[in-house]
Structure 1
C-alpha cells in the first residue's frame, strides 16, 4: 500500500509540473505585450516604449496562476533596427512553481516593396524554473493527523537554469500584418530531476487587419475597427484566438473567442474574453476578463489581466511606418 501511495505521489508531482511547463502562459491582450508575442515587434514604435502586464488566471482556484511581465524597447531608424529587453515571471500553485525568463531582443526592418515591410526578429533568453517543495502536500501525507512527512524523494535542487532562443518574421503594411514566431528553439530544461524533460517548441501564427473609419494614418486615428487572430501550436496542444476591436478615441472595446481546432486536445471552446482600454497621447491602458465556458465554468472565477504601455515618442527625420497593431 505504501508503494502504491508513493507511486501516485510521483505521478501527481510529475503531472503538476508537466501541465505548467508543457504550455507557455497565454495573454489575452497579447498585442499589449508585443515583445512576448514576437521579437519582430521590438522597436515597432517611434522612439522608446515601456510595457507592463499582469495576469491572474482562475481566481477562485486555490493556488492561482500569476504572471508578471515588463519590457522596454527602442527604435533606431539609422540602423533600421529595434532593440529591447524583457523579463517575465509565471508562478503557479502554493508550491511557488515558477518560470522566470529574462532576455534581449533585436529586429531589423526590410522594405522589399514601397507599401510593405518585412521585419525578422531574434531573442536570447536566460530561464530559471524553481519550486518550494516545503509547501507541497502529497497524497501519502493525507492518511493521518498530524500530517506525517512524505515518502516522496525530493530532488537535490529547487532551481534549474538554462538558455533559450526565439526567432520570428513579420510582414506588414499600413493596415495589415502577418507574423510567425518560433519559440523555445533550444528546448530548455523543464524538470527538477535527472531526466530529459524539456519545454517543447512553440509556433505562433498571428495577424490582422485594421479599417480606419475616422482619421488619417499621417495624423491622428480617431476611430477604427480591427480584426485579429493568434494561433499557437505547442507539442500536442493547439489554441486559436479570434478577436474584434473597436477604437473610438480615447476608448477601445474588444471581444475575443478562445477555442481549440477540431482535432486538438480538449474542448473546442475555452473562453470568451472582453476588453476595455484607454489611450491618450503616450499612455495606453487595458483591462480584460476571460469568462471560462469550458467544464471548469464559473468555478474557476475566470481570469483578469491588466496592461499598460508608455511611449516616449521622438520626431523621425522622415516618415516611418509603425506596425499597425490593435490600439489599446
Structure 2
C-alpha cells in the first residue's frame, strides 16, 4: 500500500511539474520592454545611433503568492555598432544578453546567455529609412531545487521519490532565433519602427523526466513589435509602442504609451522626463511607467497592478521593475544618426 501511495505521489509530482513547466516554458517578460531591445529582437543589436549601448533590468512579482522566495528576474545587455557607421552606410552590429529568472519556493531557475549578430541596411542617402536583420544563438541552464518539496506520502519529512524518475533537476539547453526591423526617422522629432522576431526555433527539450519518455519541448515564440515618436508640442513627444508575443497556446499583448517632456528641446534621451501607462493582456496587468533621460543615461521605473484571475491571491499586486540604459556618445558627428527612441 505504501508503494502504491508513493507511486501515485510520484505521478502527481510529474503531472504538477508538467503543468508548472507549461507555465515556465513561456519566456519571461518585462513591463519596460523598450529597455530590453537586445532581448526582444536580435535585429535591434547595434541600432542606437552610437557606437555602444548597455543596460539592465530588475523586476520582482507575486510577492503575496509565494511565502518564501519571490519571483525575480534580472536582465543585462550590451550591444555595439561595428566599424564607423555614417548616415548613408550599411553597418553591422553585435549584442550580448544575459538574464536570470528565479520562480517560487522550489527555486525554478533559468540562466541564459544570447549572442546576436545583426546587419543594418540604409535605404536612402539621408540615413532615415532602414531595414535590419539579425540572428541569435543562446545557451542556458535550468534547475529546480527539490529540497523544500513536501508531498502527502512523506508525512512531513523527506522521503525520496525515486531518483531514477527525476533525472534532470539541472540541465542545459541551446536555442536559435532571428529577427527583422524596419525603421523610419525623418528628423529628430519623429520616428517609426516595426519589427518581428522568432525565438526558440529549434524548440529545446525542457522535460525533467526524459528517462521515462516524458517530453516537454519549449514552444517557439513569435513576436511583433512596433512604435513611434511624434511631437505633440514644442517640447513634448508622444511615444506609443506595442509588442505581441505568441508562444504555443498563449498570446500576450502589451500596449504602452509615454508622454515625454524635453528640458532642452532635444528629444531622443537627452534631458527629458516621461510618464505613461502600460496594459498587458488579455486582462493580465496594468502598469504605471516613468523614465528620466540624462544625456546618455535613461532610468526607468514601473509598477504592475494585477488584474487577472490571480488578483485575489496576489492582492492585485504585480511587481516593481527598474531599468537602466546607457548609450555612448558617437565618436564624431558624422556617425550620429536619427534612431528609434530606446
Please, what TM-score do these two structures have when normalized by structure 1? 0.88
Give the alignment partner of residue 275 of structure 2, picking from 236, 253, 257.
253
The answer on 1:230 being equivalent to 2:243 is yes
Question: Partners in 1 of 2:30 and 2:152 — Cα distance?
Answer: 33
Question: Partners in 2 of 1:16 and 1:152 — Cα distance?
Answer: 20
Matched residue SS, 1:155: coil
Between 297-306 and 176-185, the greater mean CA deviation after superposition:
297-306
- Which residue in the other structure is 1:271 paired with? 285
Question: Partners in 2 of 1:325 and 1:280 — Cα distance?
Answer: 14
Matched residue SS, 1:83: strand
- Which residue in the other structure is 1:95 paired with? 106
Contact 2:252/2:280, CA 8 A, preserved across alignment: yes
- Which residue in the other structure is 1:184 paired with? 200
Q: How many residues are treated as equivalent by the alignment?
A: 308
CA 1:11–1:152: 2 relative to 1, 3 Å = farther
Between 148-157 and 64-73, the greater mean CA deviation after superposition:
148-157
Question: Partners in 2 of 1:288 and 1:183 — Cα distance?
Answer: 26
Matched residue SS, 2:9: helix
- Which residue in the other structure is 2:33 paired with? 30
Deviation per residue, 1:256-278 (Å, 9 max, x gap): 11112xxxxxxxx1111111111
Deviation per residue, 1:176-207 (Å, 9 max, x gap): 00000000111122122213321110000010
- Which residue in the other structure is 2:71 paired with? 65
Contact 1:6/1:140, CA 8 A, preserved across alignment: no
- Which residue in the other structure is 1:218 paired with? none
Question: Where do 1:86-235 residues align within 5 Å?
Answer: 86-114=97-125, 115-141=128-154, 144=155, 146-151=156-161, 153=163, 154-174=165-185, 175-194=191-210, 195-214=214-233, 222-235=235-248
Please, what TM-score do these two structures have when normalized by structure 2? 0.84
Q: CA RMSD in A?
A: 2.0
CA 1:137–1:82: 2 relative to 1, 3 Å = same
Contact 2:112/2:140, CA 8 A, preserved across alignment: yes
Structure 1 unaligned segments of length 5 or more: list them. 216-221, 261-268
Contact 1:273/1:291, CA 8 A, preserved across alignment: yes
Contact 1:42/1:83, CA 8 A, preserved across alignment: yes
Question: Partners in 2 of 1:101 and 1:4 — Cα distance?
Answer: 34
Q: CA deviation at 1:71?
A: 0.7
The answer on 1:42 being equivalent to 2:70 is no
Q: CA deviation at 1:320?
A: 4.2
